[in-house]
Amino acid sequence: MTYQTVIISNFDSYLETGGDTTEEQLDQQLVRRETLENFPYPVMLELAYPEMDFTNRWCWQRFGPNRGECHQKHSEYRTCTIDAPHCHIGRWTQHWFVKTDYDFGFCEWYFSISSDRDLFLEFVPSINWGENFPK
């Protein structure tokens, strides 16, 4: 058994947190709109950093690398072994919005294929802190 703090959420809940300034929220809305142009199937979660890393590993294993700048170097559950700054091209991506508590906050995953999003939604109840944080 491991820790599990993930909550399915939505973009409006992020906006209501007040964790970002109005200007930061407007910037986040712009980034999100641009992302949705290529990845129109989003899923917003509230979760802890280890859960985000656990989830990203699962996505890499199912869908391949994510699109964009690679942050795996800092991941609790690393899948990419390249340490130098680099990017990947993939059919999914994710974006961290804001911390709402210590190492906890809003992150949204975006998928270019609806069936990938649907598989991800089936996985959500299994998201946890992973094997590095046993109870």
pLDDT in tens, 61-117: 999 999 999 999 999 999 999 999 999 999 999 999 988 888 899 999 999 999 999
| pLDDT, tens digit (0-9, with 9 covering 90-100), for 39-61 | 999 999 999 999 999 999 999 99
**What pLDDT does residue 29 have?**
94
Its pTM stands at 0.94
d(CA 129, CA 4): 6
**What pLDDT does residue 5 have?**
94
Residue partners of 68: CB distance under 8 A and separation at least 6: 87, 88, 93
As a whole number, mean pLDDT of residues 8-36 equals: 92
Q: 41-52: b or e for each residue (b if 16 or more CB lie within 10 Å)? A: bbbbbbbbbbbb
